[in-house]
Structure 1
């Protein structure tokens, strides 16, 4: 396909079960938009299989979530206009803590594999 702008549209009518079936097939094929899926199928383009993501250990997920929360707290403080000298030290402390946590998680998970 070319990167040419799409200016034409095609309207089709389907019943509820057909619509559901099309959406299910779209999901199985890994498409987020029904139009992209239908275009690929109609034009005999390669329909890629949905990418399977590996399951993440809940312990790791909780640790990463905690780190994400710390980063959000830092971002909130940095984006506020009320940053004081003491706050800067706290931000540096948060960043140091996040760095330490990431190193511990990385070391822990690299020794388990």
Structure 2
């Protein structure tokens, strides 16, 4: 409630938690992989050549890859980058 009130009054409030720091090289690689996953998912949703069961399997693989990328990113956070 206090955040919304401050926002409505145009007050700027500092972030309450610090954003995690990640090795920039790793972040660029993961970002590129994420972009590729998004493109694959978009094509998957648009394609009519896959059966419903194939779509479910492919979406499951994409979801798994997304979770693995998130875990990798969390493992490689650094505080001095």
TM-score, normalising length: structure 1: 0.43
Query: How far apart, in 2, do the equivalents of 1:105 and 1:65 lie?
Result: 13
- Bigger relative CO (Cα 8 Å, ≥ 6 apart): 2
- Superposition CA RMSD, Å: 1.8
Gaps of 5+ in 1: 1-55
Give the aligned partner of residue 49 of structure 2.
82
**Number of corresponding residues:** 56
Equivalent of 1:102 in 70, 74, 81: 70
Task: Tell me the secondary structure at the aligned position of residue 49 of structure 2.
Answer: coil
Query: How far apart, in 2, do the equivalents of 1:68 and 1:106 lie?
Result: 18
TM-score, normalising length: structure 2: 0.56
Query: How far apart, in 2, do the equivalents of 1:72 and 1:104 lie?
Result: 20
